[in-house]
Amino acid sequence: MDIIKLDKKDRLIIYELDKNSRQSYSQIGRSVKLSKEVVNYRIQRLEENKIVLGYYLIINHFKLGLNYIRVFFKYQDINTEKEKEIIKYISDLPQIGWLGSQDGIWDLVAVFQVRTNEELNDILKRIYFKFGNYLQDREITPSLRISHFKHHFLHGVRDYSYDLIEGPLQDMKIDEINYRILKSLSEDARKSIIEISNSVGISSKNVIHRIKKLEENGIIIAYKTAFNLPLLGYHYFHIFLNLKDSSYEFEKKVYNYLAQHKYIFYISQALGKADFEFEIALKSHNELFDFMKELRDKFYENIKEYSSVLIYKTYKINYLP
């Protein structure tokens, strides 16, 4: 795969899309000092070259009474055709918010957004009834707190603000129109107000008002961009970090350290085997080794162990079940 290099203006546009993918061409243009026509052309080129893969919505699922639960699967006795069948079956489940293939201790990870443990158990029973002979093991990790950071390594802008998703679990009611607006934005976070208005069947003014309310109520958290990291020369690793000292004070120190790292763009604090799960983009396994050595040296008395997987393909991002 040929590595694509970006010029300074492309990097600045990527930062603006990373910050808020719903910005208009004019808004981005003012920030990067280009005309809206040039911004439009450059974004289209980023899309055509598959550097930008799409735009998605981050919602606070806790507000809607939904738990965010990762399930990691390990295959056994499987061929490519059966793997594709499993991926398609799980991807088509309405409760799936994210699905990706991995290389390492796990082969496939799925993010389920469900209201109860019973709902998840029922889904897993159906998966295992159909594919149990090909699934060796699994790990379930419910997320308690999720932080989305900027992709600093792509654009070089030192903006360490982040989008936070956390509880408590609530059950805020949204009507059918708001659900359809969220659904439309989940399919394409850059979809225009006119397109949403036409698909939902209400006025543009009403769409704008409702989106603003969804943001104010903390249901809409952010409008994000999916970047093709391998095409830009990066490997995408998911790390499981276990601590000896899991006190609030020490966890906060580790979190703050990770949150300031240029190559880390996602941190999850979860119930399960790992105290932290985080995602990092690096150019090689050697860089991962060096990073983990640096982390161990920083907190050598309290890091118990870590493991990693390489995420090599994402099949689905849609955080609205």
* Cβ–Cβ under 8 Å, residues 9 and 34: yes
Q: Rounded to an integer, what distance in angstroms lies between the CA atom of residue 151 and that of residue 158?
A: 10
Contacts of 57 (CB under 8 A, 6+ apart): 182, 185, 186, 189, 220, 222, 223, 224, 319, 320
Whether the per-residue pLDDT at 129 is higher than 80: the answer is: yes
- Mean pLDDT, to the nearest integer, of 53-62? 96
Whether the per-residue pLDDT at 99 is higher than 80: the answer is: yes
The verdict on pTM exceeding 0.85 is: yes
What's residue 291's pLDDT?
Answer: 96
Which residue has tokens 């893969």?
53
What's residue 171's pLDDT?
Answer: 87
Query: For residue 321, is the peptide bond before it cis, meaning its omega torsion is within 30 degrees of 0?
Result: no
Whether the per-residue pLDDT at 2 is higher than 80: the answer is: no
How many Cβ atoms are within 10 Å of 192's Cβ, its own excluded?
13
What's residue 207's pLDDT?
Answer: 98
- Mean pLDDT, to the nearest integer, of 292-311? 93
Q: Tell me which amino acid residue 225 is.
A: T
Distances (CA, A) of 188 to 22, 77, 278: 9, 37, 25
Classify domain 1-49 by CATH architecture. Orthogonal Bundle (1.10)
Whether the per-residue pLDDT at 314 is higher than 70: the answer is: yes
What sections of the chain are H helices per DSSP? 8-19, 25-32, 36-48, 80-91, 117-131, 152-155, 176-187, 193-200, 204-216, 248-259, 285-298
Average pLDDT score over the chain: 95
- CATH code for the part of the protein at 65-143: 3.30.70.920
Which residue has tokens 């792509």?
154
Token pair for residue 45? 């080129």
β-strand 235-243 against 264-270: which pairing, if any? unpaired
* Cβ–Cβ under 8 Å, residues 297 and 79: no
Compute the Cα dihedral for 176, 226, 147, 89 and give only its sign.
positive
Whether the per-residue pLDDT at 104 is higher than 80: the answer is: yes
What's residue 111's pLDDT?
Answer: 97
The length of the chain is 321
What's residue 1's pLDDT?
Answer: 61
- Mean pLDDT, to the nearest integer, of 204-213? 98
pLDDT single digits (tens) 151-161 = 999 999 989 99
What's residue 279's pLDDT?
Answer: 97
What's residue 156's pLDDT?
Answer: 92
Torsion angle of the four alpha carbons 144, 260, 286, 73, in this order, in degrees rounded to the nearest 10: 10
What's residue 4's pLDDT?
Answer: 80
Share of the chain above pLDDT 90, in %: 92
What's residue 148's pLDDT?
Answer: 97
Confidence of residue 125 (pLDDT cuts 50, 70, 90): very high
pLDDT single digits (tens) 238-275 = 999 999 988 889 999 999 999 999 999 999 998 887 99
Domain ranges, ordered by start, for the chain:
1-49, 65-143
